[in-house]
Amino acid sequence: MRSRRDFLADFLRRAGCFAVAATLPAAPRVLAALERTADAGGGADAAGRAPRYRFPQGLASGDPTPTSVVLWTRVEAVDGARGPVDVTVQVAETAAFARVVAERTVRATAASDHTVRVVVTGLAPDRRYHYRFVAGARAEGRGDATGVDPARGDATPLVGRTRTAPADDAERPVRLAFVSCQAYEAGFYGAWRTMLNEDLARPEAEQLDFVLHLGDFIYEALGYGGARRIAPFPSGGGRVSTGSGKAWAETHAVTVDDYRHLYRTYLADPDLQAARARWPFVVTWDDHEFSDDAWQGRSSYTLAGEPAQARKLAANQAWFEFVPALLTGAPAVGGAPAEARDFAPATARDAPFAGRDAAGFWQEPNNVAAVGSMTIYRSFRWGRHVELVVGDARSYRSEHPVPPELATALGGTARYLVPQHVARTLDAGRLAADGAPPATLPVAGGAVPNPRRDLPPGTMLGARQKAWWRATMAGTTATWKLWANSVPLMPMRIDVGALLPGADDAVFTIDTWEGYQHERGELLGFLAGRGVTNVVSLTGDNHNHFAGVLVPDFDLPPGDARRRAVGAELATCGVSSTSVWKAFRGSVQPGTPRYALVAWDPARHGRPGPERPALNVTWLWGARAALTLAATGDVRAAQGARDPAHNAHLRYCDASANGYALATAHGDRLEAELVTVEEPLVDRGAAGARVLRRARFVLPAWRAGEEARLALTGVDGTPPFPFDVLASA
């Protein structure tokens, strides 16, 4: 009987995943430099030869270590043939390819949608390399052919540029960008082009080392936004329930070919192609790589949710095929085991969930097979100062703590605007109220049974990942522990009591860590108890820029000694996805109290100009301040009505943003910028999207016993509302 290891090795060969050590073959010819083009081949070459192959999704690199990097491409035959294609990867020290240090011919097949993943090893630390792929030019002789002449085949139009990580003891700053949420249909990728143009203008020593993508790389449903369209799914797609509240969604991906269709479409964009060609990416996923607001192998298109194990398996496979990631073989930290594993073929069908274990994971065999087909949580070291801890906040989390039917009965939606005491009580399960959870919960003057009274607390990470996270955070010797967190840790609450005296604060969404408050407190308390310092959560998902500090219990009042900040969080908005303010604005009616919390219309006070995002006022100053603004039109009066205890951890908020974020980790401080660009409704071309503002932050390093002190040091450009009004007054 064949072993699982033999089976996996055969699959990796069929999927185009190979390891190649650095070698020194003959020097090939030069290719063109990086440019903005969607051309993937098709015109005759200089010799008049018609190309046989093209690379419509470009090329990419990912997950660099001091001695290795993963390289990727996808090839197509121009005539549409689906047979295998020999592709040679070449790695050189310069863009002129004067000295090739690694070369290998591999085979791309239909089994992996003709994608190729190559792990190049034996590289030098902290060094830039250039790479390209050539199809149809396999040299005669050995299978690890060397000396391929790109003129004999068809080469990737873009030359890739990547960089290995510095050695663990290297003393230098580490520079990265972090991004999230790039719905293709909702907008164009001018933010990527702006980031590229800015990096090209920097001195080489100040250019970015890598890009961290925090998820929602694709969106699994069609019908989101309207700036541009995606062709229908090959399978026809699955219909989204009209009762799901997902008004934007028409059909969703069902099969692996459906998910491949999405990656192929997204990666045909020239700005995203150019970004992947310039920098190595480190990528985690959020929900839309599989299904909106998903957990384990379950979708959330209906109030009750639906088993979707077959879709989870298909989504995992497509992610593995299109995202260059070092999973099997990823480095480990101290006593923390290396848990990441490459995708392995499995069989799964949609089946009712059953058999929940003590950690909240459903042991239904199809769920186990789908989730277990691949493991992506992993960590990477960049010199002395950065440990990048890449989490998975979807695959192992327990169900949302508040049943959707109960959430809607409480006046919110399935996962938005849930009363805080309900979210906290249900998440804590049998540990609520110091082990005496209430038997019922009050609802609209009545009561309903507590559905989680006998269940364990919820989990975002799952037992195994949580143990790995603890060991990694405590075991690394890096100055900064950057936690790649696809959903925010910090609360973004609305103090509904300003509208309805006696009402509880509303949790913005329980799909983030606000739905898993018990485990959040457990993890942040672990940092405090073990003296782990300089932890920063880098996150996205919520479609707005915000920043603040992390405390073990956000319900404690400001000034309480137990509220000491044990870390900081920097959250980036979406590259192209609709801003949270614009999404909320579409759900409220002018003249209502909810409208006052979301938007302010200066025309109601006889002033020119468009509606403004009062959601910033609500989150930063509180609902009473937003109501004061609506009544008076006076921003200073609204500021005077601020509740200093409301969201006291927040330092900044820009709810109407699109853009990206930058961070530089030094030995004594971390500097960051949250960059807001103009709305992505049109293609901005080679110039990229215009930058509206940069919010700049400094976070000094701190020692055990001290606390995190994140400071907003300034805003270049026009500040977000209401601070633009205050600045001009």
Find the mean pLDDT for residues 189-206: 98
What are the boundaries of each domain within the chain? 404-457
pLDDT at 335: 81
pLDDT at 246: 52
4: pLDDT confidence band, cut at 50, 70 and 90?
very low
Q: What is the pLDDT of residue 89?
A: 97
Cα(570)–Cα(670) distance, integer angstroms: 11
Residue whose token pair is 């249909």: 185
* Backbone angles phi and psi of 537, in degrees to 5: -85, 120
**∠ CA(70), CA(390), CA(566), 5° rounding?**
150
- Asked if pLDDT for residue 14 goes beyond 70, the answer is no
Looking at residue 722, what is its pLDDT? 97
Is 90 exceeded by the pLDDT of residue 523? Answer: yes
> Which residues have a Cβ under 8 Å from the Cβ of 77 and sit 6 or more positions away?
52, 53, 83, 85
Average pLDDT for residues 322-339, to the nearest whole number?
94
Q: Which one, of 545, 519, 533, 284, lies nearest residue 389 by Cα?
A: 284
Mean pLDDT along residues 206-215: 98
pLDDT band at 9 (very low <50, low <70, confident <90, very high): very low
CB-CB contact of 15 with 113 (8 Å): no
Give the pLDDT score at 503.
Answer: 86
**Surface-to-core class of residue 593, CB atoms within 10 Å of its CB (0-12 exposed, 13-18 middle, 19+ buried):** middle
Q: DSSP states of 47-92 as a string? A: T-PPPSEE-TT-EEEE---SS-EEEEEE-EETT---S-EEEEEEEE
Query: What percent of the chain is modeled with pLDDT above 70?
Result: 91
Residue with tokens 């050695």: 167
- Report, as an integer, the average pLDDT of 400-421: 89
Question: φ and ψ at 482, to 5 degrees?
Answer: -95, 115
SS3 224: coil
Of the listed ranges 7-21, 384-398, 425-439, 526-540, the one predicted with least confidence: 7-21
Residues 6+ apart with CB under 8 A from 156: 31, 55, 58, 59, 73, 132, 133, 134
Question: Tokens at residue 262, please?
Answer: 């999405």
The predicted pLDDT at position 303 comes to 81
Tell me the pLDDT of the chain averaged across its residues. Answer: 90
Q: Please give the pLDDT value at position 249.
A: 65
Instruction: Determine the Cα–Cα distance for residues 120 and 62; give it in Å rounded to an integer.
Output: 11
Q: Are 562 and 552 in contact (CB under 8 A)?
A: yes
- 332 vs 303: CA distance, rounded Å: 40
Provide the 10 A C-beta neighbour count for residue 305: 21
Q: What is the mean pLDDT of residues 690-699?
A: 98
Residue 450, classified by CB atoms within 10 Å of its CB into exposed (0-12), middle (13-18) or buried (19+), is buried
The arithmetic mean of pLDDT across residues 508-518, rounded, is 97
d(CA 7, CA 345): 9
Contact in structure between 394 and 286 (CB atoms under 8 Å): yes
**Neighbouring C-beta atoms of residue 640, cutoff 10 Å:** 11
Lowest mean per-residue pLDDT among 53-67, 162-176, 362-376, 399-413: 399-413
Task: State how far the alpha carbon of 179 is from the alpha carbons of 237, 272, 304, 487, 514, in Å.
Answer: 28, 12, 31, 12, 21
* pLDDT value of position 427: 97
Percent helix / strand / coil, the chain, rounded to 5? 25, 25, 50
Region 687-706 average pLDDT:
97
Q: What is the DSSP letter of 577?
A: S
3 falls in which pLDDT band (50, 70, 90)? very low
For residues 652-661, average pLDDT = 98
Say which residues have a Cβ less than 8 Å from residue 102's Cβ, sequence separation at least 6. Answer: 20, 21, 22, 23, 89, 90, 91, 120, 122, 123
Buried b (16+ CB within 10 A) or exposed e, 493-510: bbbbbbbeeeebbbbbbb
Query: What's the gap between Cα 525 and its chain centre?
Result: 25
Contacts of 548 (CB under 8 A, 6+ apart): 490, 568, 569, 647, 649, 650, 651, 652, 710
Which residues make Cβ contacts (< 8 Å) with residue 6, sequence separation at least 6?
none
pLDDT of 518 > 70? The answer is yes
Q: What is the pLDDT of residues 127-168, one digit of tens each?
A: 999 999 999 875 433 334 456 777 778 999 999 999 999 999
Does residue 722 have a cis peptide bond before it, meaning omega lies within 30 degrees of 0? yes
Whole-angstrom Cα distance, residue 50 to residue 340? 43
Q: Residue 344 corresponds to which tokens in the numbers above?
A: 């392995």
CA distance 683 to 335: 48
| pLDDT tens per residue across span 438-480 | 999 988 778 899 999 999 999 999 999 999 999 999 999 999 9
Helices 517-530 and 463-475: crossing angle in degrees, nearest 10, is 30
Which class for 555: exposed (0-12), middle (13-18), buried (19 or more C-beta within 10 A)? middle
Q: Which two tokens stand for residue 475?
A: 């075991």
Instruction: Please check whether residue 153 is in contact with residue 78, taking contact to mean a CB–CB distance below 8 angstroms.
Output: no
Quick one: pLDDT at residue 226?
A: 82
Report whether 72 contacts 134 (CB < 8 A): no
Residue 377 near residue 340 (C-beta atoms within 8 A):
yes
Mean pLDDT of 540-550: 97
Residues 633-654 have pLDDT tens digits of 999 999 999 999 999 999 999 9
Nearest Cα residue to 470 out of 539, 553, 528, 511: 528
CB atoms within 10 A of CB 84: 14
Selection from 446, 418, 572, 431 nearest residue 506 by Cα: 418
Residue holding tokens 């906040």?
393
Closest CA to 284 of 212, 220, 337: 212
pLDDT in tens, 28-42: 222 222 344 544 454
β partners of residue 664? 175, 671
Query: What length does the chain have?
Result: 729
510 or 442, higher pLDDT: 510
pLDDT at 44 (0 to 100): 55
List, in order, residues 6 or more apart from 601 with CB less than 8 Å away.
590, 611, 612
d(CA 61, CA 161): 8
pLDDT for the residue 39: 46
Mean pLDDT of 491-518: 93
Structure tokens that stand for 512 in this block: 């983030």
**Tokens, residue 266:** 């997204």
What's the pLDDT at 438? Answer: 96
Could you write out the three-class secondary structure of 340-361?
CECCCCCCCCCCCCCCECCCCC
pLDDT for residue 418 is more than 70? yes
Predicted TM-score (pTM) of this structure: 0.94
